[in-house]
Every structure is written in C-alpha cells, then in structure tokens.
Amino acid sequence: MSIEYDRLTIYEASSLLRSGEISAVELTRACLERIRQVEPRVHALVTVTEEMALSQAQKADRLIAAGDADPLTGIPALIKDNICTRGVRTTCSSKMLENFVPPYDATVVERLGQRGAVIVGKTNMDEFAMGSSTENSALFVTNNPWDLSRVPGGSSGGSAAAVAAGEAFYALGSDTGGSIRQPAGFCNVTGLKPTYGRVSRYGLVAFASSLDQIGPLTRDVTDCALVLSAIAGYDTRDSTSIPYPTPDYPSCLVADISGLTIGVPKEYFVQGMQAEVEQAVRAAISKLEELGAKVEWEVSLPHTPYALAAYYIIAPSEASANLARYDGVKYGFSYRDAGSMWEAMEKTRQHGFGPEVKRRIMLGTYALSAGYYDAWYVKAQKVRTLLRQEFDQAFARFDALVTPTSPSVPFKIGEKTDDPLQMYLSDVFTIPVNIAGLPAISIPAGFAAGLPAVAKAKAGLPIGMQLIGKPFAEDTLLKIAHAYQQATDWHKKRPEV
C-alpha cells in the first residue's frame, strides 16, 4: 500500500474513510499488520483484539456508508489495560488480574463505541498503574520505539509506545501522578490529563481515587481535542464526575494565542535536570512568546518541593484502601493451598502482587495506621491544600503555566529499578498537577541528541513540554498547544521501528 497508515492522524485517516479511499476494515487490517511488524520489538500490547476489531470495523463501514460517521468512526484505538472492556481481559499488567474478564465496559469505552471506534487491543502498563517506566508490569517490559534499550515511561507506557510506533491512531491512558504525560513526553506523542472530574472513572480499576483521571494519547493536539470531546462529560455512575457541559474541543483550536498569559514557575527548572531538556523547553517557551503569548519567566510556586512527598503519602494511602478488595474471593488470583481463610488471603496477596504494589500498600497502610495518621496522612492533605491554593493564586494572573514534562529524557531499562526513590523522582513535575486536580497536557518540544549516551537513538530522544491550566480549562491548554504545533514539527517526527 502506498499510504503509510501508521503515520496518519485521526483526522487524516477519517477523511480517507469518508471519501471512500479506504474502508474501515482495510484500515483495521493495515493496523493489525503494523502491530504484527513492530510488536516483537516494542512489546506494547497485552492483548490484541483482532476479531472484535474487525467486527467493529464492519459496523463502522456501514455507518460511513449511511452517512452517520463521526471523525472517530472506523479509527483503530488502544485501551490501557486498567480500563474495563466487556468480554476482553483486563489485567492491570498484574498476576492478580491476569485472567480477569470484566462483565461491563468502562464509560469511556462505551462512549468510544457509540462513535463507532475500533478497539484493536489493550496496552501494557506498570502493575496497577504504579510506576514511571512500565518495568513494573508483571507481564513483560515495553521498549521505547525511539531507542529500544530505553523505557517508554509509565505507567501508560504501552499506550504511548504504541501510538508512537503506529500500532493505532490513539490510545487511552490513565494519569494518577503523570502516567499519561510522562510517557507521552518520553515517546514524542501528545498526552492530556483532564481536570479531575472531567472524565468518568467508571470502569477504571481504582488506584488512588482522588487523583486518577483517564485521558487520550494521540499524534497531535487536534486528535487530542477530538478524543477528549468523545470521552468527557458527566456520568451518573461516577459521582465525582462533574455535571458541566462538554465543550466541542476541536472548535476551540484557533491558532491565535496573542494576549494569553503564561507563567514559567522557576521551581520546575531545578538543579540536576538534564541541560538539553531545560534548553529545549526554554526554546519552546520562547516560541510561544513569538506566537504572541505574554510570558512571565520568573514565577514562584514555593511549595512545589513538598509535592512529591505529599503525593507518595496520599496516593499509596488511597491505594492501600482500594487494593484491599483483592482477597481472592470474587475475582482474580486466588491462593488455594492455605490452612485458613486468613492465610489464604495473605498468600493470595503475597503471590498476586508485585514488589512495587506491595511497597505502596505497605507505605499507605503505615501512613493510615493508628499513631501515624495525623503526622503523615493528614499532614500530606494539608500540604495538598497549600499546593492547590498556590496554583489558584498563580491562575489569577496566568492562563497557563509551562514546565518540562520530566527532568530527563527516557532512561535505560533497569537504570532505576533498584532505587524506588529515584524512580519516584521522574514524576516530580507532573505530580503537583494531580495533587491540585488540574488539567495538563504534554506535547513534543524537541529532541536531545548531544548526549554521548543517546548516540544509539539516531533521531535523538524526545523531550516533552507540559502546559498546566485552570480547573476545567482544557480548551485553553489545547489552544496553546495547537498554536505551538502549527508553528513546529516535533510532533510530526516518528521513530524508525
């Protein structure tokens, strides 16, 4: 075939579908073929749903023929494996749920289905979304398509790697402390974490319920706007989703950002971050200035250095409560050779959970236990209040804040697995956003090519820029990010895999 389908955006593929140049079934077959080609090297997918995808594609072709097509109709997509898909196993990349087949669809999956989406598979992740590299998957490690010896980021590493490698046009991920944005930055794709409450969490396997959000990973901002419009909105089955109307995000994408105010918080340009990341992001901010934004280069958010500690108390505390449900009784792995019910439960959890999950359950249980609750958990929640107040004050003056997505380019597989704290630090710029419940997007902002260590990656290694917005102001973020992509080509670069 002359068209390289794996390089198209949703919009481009959608116009080919509607003009009849290709059918949804052909597009889906091309996508499945691409998966067969690159999966032996990338390892991004836990499950490929070929049969279901082809039947959804046939349905999409009928919708297109009837003139009832939406831009997402017939477009192959991937779903992170902690988002429930009816009849398709949803493992959370954990031994605990290796054979779990949900009896219902998550709301986001249902909404994509209503638009005639084609689901081609489920993506690998850090076990229960706990991690920053996808190395915590109990199933296998995913490789970064830009350099197979490096991590794709995490926890939505499979989603980011697959979109970068052209295994689908977009993917859904989840973001509790950076799990969409950090892998998006590491794989040179666009990734958005919506405001807490914007997207229903019904059917998302719970990790930290006050922080989790589902969002899209796409090849550009226009596609991101499109997918967000499809999945956002109030849902009676998630009482924390907010009954605000969903804007038509694609129509918000005017490339004029003159007059918008952008702040650059100095606490996000810290000692120890890679020089090339800092240079690339500063250059990208200058580009925004050139495009007409009013940039203030020295903003201060003084509580930022405490966000990481607050997060790693709050998130594990919530996780320890949420993961109490894995007792081997109703679903999931169950240890059978125990002498008593309690022993069965302890052994089920001992053998079903991997090391990082155990670490976080222990940390959270400690922080919630008698005698430590006030000193750790409540203290962290008070710091959370201060972090949010500080953002609110900044947003009285700015339409958006801009930072690097991560302090470094993708690191080597195995580089940080022995040191949990070092791994936690790779989320240092994304975590404050979840603590405050804000929306944020990561977009490609350049490549690091100068480091001798990256010589293997011919094109260099991707660098992400993060834009943080006011609550429910995803439209502003998309607008700024779109203006940047209209003026730059970073997001159009694809890895050779």
Partner 1 sequence: MKLTREEVLHIARLARLGLTDAEVDRLREQLSNILENFEILQQVDTAGVPPTSHTVAIKNVMRPDEVADSLPPEQVLANAPQRDGDYFRIQAVLE
Q: How far is the CB of 378 from partner 1 (least distance, A)?
A: 5
Q: Which of 93, 155, 156, 426 is catalytic?
A: 155
Cα three-residue angle 204-209-210, rounded to 5 degrees: 135
Binding to partner 1 (CB under 8 A): which residues in 224-243?
236, 239-240, 242
What is the dihedral sign for C-alpha 462, 468, 471, 474? negative
Sorted by sequence, the CB contacts under 8 Å of residue 239 that are 6+ apart come out as none
Q: How far is the CB of 85 from partner 1 (least distance, A)?
A: 14
Binding to partner 1 (CB under 8 A): which residues in 268-327?
303, 305-306, 309-310, 312-313, 320, 324, 327
Work out whether 349 is an interface residue with partner 1 (CB under 8 A): yes
Contact with partner 1 (CB under 8 A) among 382, 397, 458, 492: 382
User: Among 474, 287, 265, 270, which residue's Cα sits nearest to residue 390?
Assistant: 265
Q: Which stretch binds partner 1 (CB under 8 A): 4-12, 148-156, 382-390, 440-448?
A: 382-390
Contact with partner 1 (CB under 8 A) among 338, 449, 451, 459: 338
Sorted by sequence, the CB contacts under 8 Å of residue 123 that are 6+ apart come out as 44, 45, 46, 78, 79, 80, 81, 156, 158, 159, 162, 171, 173
Binding characters for partner 1, 80-99, by CB under 8 A (x = yes): -------------------x
Q: Are 298 and 342 in contact (CB under 8 A)?
A: no
Task: Please say if 179 is a catalytic residue.
Answer: yes
Work out whether 342 is an interface residue with partner 1 (CB under 8 A): yes
Q: How far is the CB of 173 from partner 1 (least distance, A)?
A: 20
> 40 or 342: whose CB is closer to partner 1?
342
Contact with partner 1 (CB under 8 A) among 380, 423, 465, 480: 380
What string of H, E and C letters represents the secondary structure of 112-141?
HHHCCCEEEEEECCCHHHCCCCCCCCCCCC
Q: How far is the CB of 106 from partner 1 (least distance, A)?
A: 15
Judging by DSSP bridges, how do beta strands 440-448 and 461-469 pair with one another? antiparallel
Work out whether 213 is an interface residue with partner 1 (CB under 8 A): no
Give 442's strand partners.
191, 466
How many residues belong to the chain?
Answer: 497
- Taking the C-alpha atoms of residue 385 and residue 5, their distance in angstroms, rounded to an integer, is 46
Using omega within 30 degrees of 0 as the cis cutoff, is the peptide bond preceding 155 cis?
yes
Q: Are 46 and 254 in contact (CB under 8 A)?
A: no
Judged by the rule CB under 8 A, the positions of this chain that interact with partner 1 are 99-101, 103-104, 196-197, 210, 236, 239-240, 242, 303, 305-306, 309-310, 312-313, 320, 324, 327-334, 336, 338, 340-347, 349-351, 353, 355, 358-359, 361-363, 365-366, 369, 375-376, 378-386, 388, 420-421, 436-437, 471
